[in-house]
Structure 1
């Protein structure tokens, strides 16, 4: 046997199923069923896909606050039914007065979270106030609404306000996520008060179905209510901006009001990548979009024709080779300015970041990825607003003298890869969460549908591999033996179960439209994920 089997759980391996949904009306696919339901409620009320996306973005910041929120960053693809596809970038950036001396290297070791940087004393680039970067999510969602929204801003934020007033229900999954970050949350008094009991122990719901323990989100509800009436610009150039800066500076962060006032989301012309008779539309800068373009170019050379039907051993090997080529180029040349990320394996971590996709009954689509970066971001809560802060500074290399070294005003290079794919009368809007693992998932799910003619349901249930820049290839343990052996002949291959904790593979989410029929799919291992159709 030329591959290894890695056990990541004592539980028996299971084959999971999460059926796709179909409708002539709209479909909303997210990592939380309630968010998907709220998105479809917006569509039923007469809103378009962009209106639904605005509501879903803010709702997800309440329902799964460790994944994303207004103080995060991200990017999206917008595909109007009757106009060219657009890209919108709203990534985080370093404060203008950031001081690299605030991040002294530890004597030894590697960073404690997603990226294998050299360790910084106290992990201050990972957790705590100095890990916080200038946010972009509120600006991005605001820019989307300004250009494409049809419903009132306040009406679209109302569901998030109401959910925050109720507080997040702590079920087993929420309890697990809080417990996994309890140590870092305990370091910030406001985060500890929000998510922990007695400042130390994670809030954990009882084991009976009658338990109704919730996180108090009243301050977040007040903030969202203010934002709903004041408008999104207040987050950057109003009372809310001044409150956020005051809170951050009181905790020791270097963000100043000018950082927020000068921030702008960027509408961009997407990359349009021709591949095998189809077109992949992706974000052009500071994301994994250019890396997907490199992967497809390489694949077109080594395997120009893909047989229809489920992928076989030759397909998986070709995908692996092309992903390895693309990641090698990314890790040596991508960034702001060119960045050299360390080429270590991506860790199997709990899920962070969130992706969702929306299609309305007219065929308008949105593919949106938003993140705080790590789970719970910096594990810092703004005391006045109740918002979790990002830890975008972790995207930078803390070692000085490198292209991607920590520096003032620099934009962060993100791993996200929202995409829109056109092929043979079908349009797909897809993306994923999962850090460096995102690209592998987006590429494979898209190629399964575009090149191999798999249905969305078939594609989401077909096993995948992960190639994320390190020396080891991870393969789904349920892949046929001949596929595992073929991969093992060329790669250091480990067969691992498809699970959400730890995260062995990324978590794709997608919608598709063909012949007037819309469909939606979500990663089968995510406990809360579900696609909901507008009937």
Structure 2
């Protein structure tokens, strides 16, 4: 039970429907959509579209989307991969010939064809009940009439002023006299509003063909990109088969590669037999979790890529043989410094949304522009902020995640669900780019092994082992004695640039018919129910 003398948030409880997002305007849009007769998927897309306007540093229609959906809360979960592809004319060899050893954040080569809008339209076609125009109406209203800049969103915005000032279009659409809009001020995005109105009226083709696509392609080509109108017209997400593993008497479901959901499952398997103890922040426990994270991430970077280009053997990744071999590399109380290293991109920005409706349809939904404000590039007339997801590609010839014609990069964004006895118990997700796989394991271990409620689990101080070394980020709320105990085990302990990630979750109690929601204090958002 929560200590009401301590700072914190109460869990939100309801019976009819629940939404949890990282922005209050998005949570409200989701609930309004449910009240209008929309499904969980209608509400998730409505909330996401609002966040594409009011939280542009985290998401946008120039990004990608993944989703898990459980019809009527059963374990017959469907998964959707809405990630975009590299232009057909792009090769790793060509970029190496240009003198590149990696892909710069603001380069046109970091921008794959955005997959989010196509994903929204397919998911609404198959799992929605309302017309697209009605679903997008709250976002269009916010972009047209204005929205108040929230505290976390505004803080993130100010951190990226230099990036946005480097692009004339970004400066015009997203800055006010060269500065980020002030927290508490009203901001409008008229060009984005017009683009959303076109999508609402004409569907996905308004974005991927015609004037809007032409505006985006012309701009990307002016930056040296190899994008074509054919690349945009051909963009199409697809349904994929979810993957899962058992943990603490439950089944945990994730999207398959090219996402890193399988890495979250690997970490859970590495922790499956680890006794919980009494303290979720015990240094010995944290050490084992950090080493499990480092091992699983080293495997991720070696083998995860677009399965269309190189098969990813999920069965092997979750096999007893591999898990046991990795477990043996966790040394007794000391950092293993022989884990393969790689150089990852920095923390990323994303929005995660979960909605459960009156029929107990469950949507676990994530949309991202990768780094804060993505590439920092904005199309001139349509106001589309482009992600930088292509920065996840490697230029190493023959690597599973090497950039190539029509390939999708390894993705960090991963929606999650947990089932028990054939029905969904939790719909959940974690934000924070690289952190997400560890964040899934961290959250579930606290809830399912330690018996913590969702809000209390989210409130715990976080640690994250940066892939490719032994540097561990720790939030300032972690006890100094715990920091020193981890440092004594060989970690370089450092503060993060800002709070690590965020999270949302909804729990279904099938016996009482109630819904419980939680939303991370690290973001502006909230859970709402009715």
Q: TM-score range by the shorter chain?
A: 0.7 to 0.9
State the partner residue of 1:176.
155
Name the SS for the 2:258 alignment partner. Answer: coil
Gaps of 5+ in 2: 1-5, 313-338
Cα distance in 2, alignment partners of residues 408 and 454 from structure 1:
46
Cα distance in 2, alignment partners of residues 346 and 70 from structure 1:
22
1:462 to 460, 463, 472: 460
1:407 to 393, 404, 407: 404
Cα distance in 2, alignment partners of residues 483 and 177 from structure 1:
29
Structure 2 residue 372 is matched with structure 1 residue 375: yes
Name the SS for the 2:10 alignment partner. Answer: coil
State the partner residue of 1:44.
35
Shift of the alpha carbon at 1:34? 0.6
1:68 to 59, 63, 66: 59
Aligned ranges for residues 126-525 of structure 1 at < 5 Å?
A: 126-170=105-149, 173-198=152-177, 201-205=178-182, 212-214=185-187, 216-238=188-210, 240-301=212-273, 303=274, 305-307=275-277, 310=280, 312-336=282-306, 337=309, 343-344=342-343, 347=346, 352-398=349-395, 402-423=399-420, 427-469=425-467, 470-480=469-479, 483-484=482-483, 487-492=486-491, 494=493, 496=495, 502-514=497-509, 515-525=512-522
Aligned residues: 491
Name the SS for the 1:164 alignment partner. Answer: helix
State the partner residue of 1:533.
529
State the partner residue of 2:83.
91
Cα distance in 1, alignment partners of residues 340 and 85 from structure 2:
17
Shift of the alpha carbon at 1:32? 0.6
Cα distance in 2, alignment partners of residues 266 and 104 from structure 1:
31
Cα distance in 2, alignment partners of residues 342 and 140 from structure 1:
34
Shift of the alpha carbon at 1:167? 3.1
Q: Does the CA contact (< 8 Å) of 2:86 and 2:406 recur in 1? A: yes
Q: Normalising to structure 2: TM-score of the pair?
A: 0.84
Shift of the alpha carbon at 1:79? 1.6
Between 1:401-410 and 1:269-278, the stretch displaced more is 401-410
Shift of the alpha carbon at 1:239? 5.1
Cα distance in 2, alignment partners of residues 346 and 101 from structure 1:
21
Shift of the alpha carbon at 1:483? 4.8
Q: Does the CA contact (< 8 Å) of 2:60 and 2:384 recur in 1? A: yes
Between 1:235-244 and 1:272-281, the stretch displaced more is 235-244
Deviation per CA, 1:259-282: give whole Å up to 9, x if none: 122222111110121123210000
Shift of the alpha carbon at 1:127? 0.7
Q: Normalising to structure 1: TM-score of the pair?
A: 0.83
Q: Does the CA contact (< 8 Å) of 1:72 and 1:371 recur in 2? A: yes
Between 1:384-393 and 1:279-288, the stretch displaced more is 384-393
Aligned pair in 2 of structure 1 residues 532, 236: CA closer, same or farther (>3 Å)? same
